[in-house]
Amino acid sequence: MAFSKDFIWGAAAASYQVEGAWNDDGKGPNVWDVSAKYGHIRHNETAEVSADHYHRMKEDVALMKELGLKAYRFSISWARVLPNGIGEVNEKGLKFYSDLVDELIANGIEPLATIFHWDYPYALDCLGGWKNKDSSDWFLEYTKVIIDALSDRVKYWMTFNEPQCSLGCGYMVGVFAPFQKCSTPELLEMGANMFRAHGKAVKYIRENAKQKCYISMAPYGSIYCPEDDSEEAFNKAYNDSFKSEGERFPFSMSYWSDVVYLGHYPEDMVEEFGDQLPQFTDEEWAMISAPLDFYGVNIYYYKGYPSADGGYDTNWYQGRPHTALNWPVTPEAMYWVPKFMYKRYGLPVMITENGLSEHDWVCLDGKVHDSYRIDFTHRYLRELSRVADEVPVIGYMHWSVMDNYEWAEGFDERFGLIYVDYQTQERTIKDSGYWYKGVIEANGENL
């Protein structure tokens, strides 16, 4: 059970969650900036300052180096680069990401860039956002700007982070910005425009990047685990994991991954929706499903089957360990998700997010003793090392590098390896950060 010698050990964050500086240096508002002012966020908190990474970038990269990170996965704020989503480029905003990339490379840290992590420009939202037939061209215009500026130094690109949350949480159930509840036909059309956006971005990167690039996306991997070692249990869990969930298709894995990696809608979606499914031309299908280089996936826990008597789901039980966000602790997901994804899509796997929120604080000795995060990560990484014998696993990005704004939960949740005091902006590396440094140094052989 060993990781490859070139395994990519890193950590991740997202622009809106850490940067702050919400309107500094010409940045335009995004849907979260606007929605936060209308009572959608716990405690009415905003990310106007957050962890102030925009102003403290060099300090934060120095801490990443102290952690021994080999890579940092960050996202780019669309509205910081293009304040109106299209049109005039904000050179100061673009320079921030160029400077970040330079600082990472100078410290021996590989930059991994996510093009879209939920912070949609408000100006484009006012024009209909993903409902607008022009939205994929807007995304392409944005992609061109950052690829032209950064691809000489950034090799790893992810188009979308957790599109399930963008479409499902943002537009179906309305718990994320822009907090809308759309009809099924609207959701299908929006999803189709997101696929077109992904395809156009990939095509531009392939044809115009200034060096060889490695491209993927990063959906979350929500699967069922086999209940025992039998072939029957394996097949049931595998097949159930790739059901498209009817009208809850925005949250499914097969909807996003089958279209992109296999070039067709899931069969059960075709049966469910028939002619309602947006149609793509042959040229569009070829563009949307153009080959990618690896399967990026975010892993936190596996799904459970509902109890027949209305009791606990099968991924839960009385007294089960759970995180501060009340997510179940299910390390086995880290084994089965890569195994299932590799079986279905046949590509190397990168864990693009994994971590937990806990009730951290600075103790009397000035340190943050987050033993639960160490135990959680240890358990999950052991499962990852186990599946690495069967599946080509190329990297692991811990979520998150530092405490930050947890979307609609505001600042209640702390996911970071680095503690952030939001009153003073003082940073403290947690015990888990030093533990993870040891794992990186040993390439996981001490797990």
Tokens of 132: 């607008």
Q: Which two tokens stand for residue 429?
A: 């590396």
Cα 296 from Cα 217, distance rounded (Å):
6
103, 353, 383, 413: the catalytic one is: 353
- The closest alpha carbon to 81, from 116, 48, 106, belongs to 116
Cα gap 215→207, rounded to integer Å: 13
Asked whether the beta carbons of 11 and 45 are under 8 A apart, the reply is no
Whether the CB-CB separation of 65 and 433 falls below 8 Å is answered with: no
Nearest of 16, 11, 20 to residue 66 by alpha carbon: 11
Does residue 353 have an active-site annotation? yes
The total number of residues written for the chain in this structure: 447
Q: Catalytic one among 19, 110, 162, 406?
A: 162
Q: Measured on CA atoms in the order 278, 284, 288, 290, is the torsion positive or negative?
A: positive
Measured CA to CA, the distance from residue 237 to residue 336 in angstroms comes to 10
Quick check: is 91 catalytic? no
Dihedral Cα 263, 266, 267, 273, nearest 10 deg: -110
Q: Which residues pair with 303 in a beta bridge?
A: 224
**What are 216's two structure tokens?**
């993927």
> Cα separation of 192 and 281, whole Å?
12
Instruction: Name the nearest CA neighbour of 199 among 296, 293, 284.
Output: 284
Residue positions annotated with a catalytic role: 162, 353
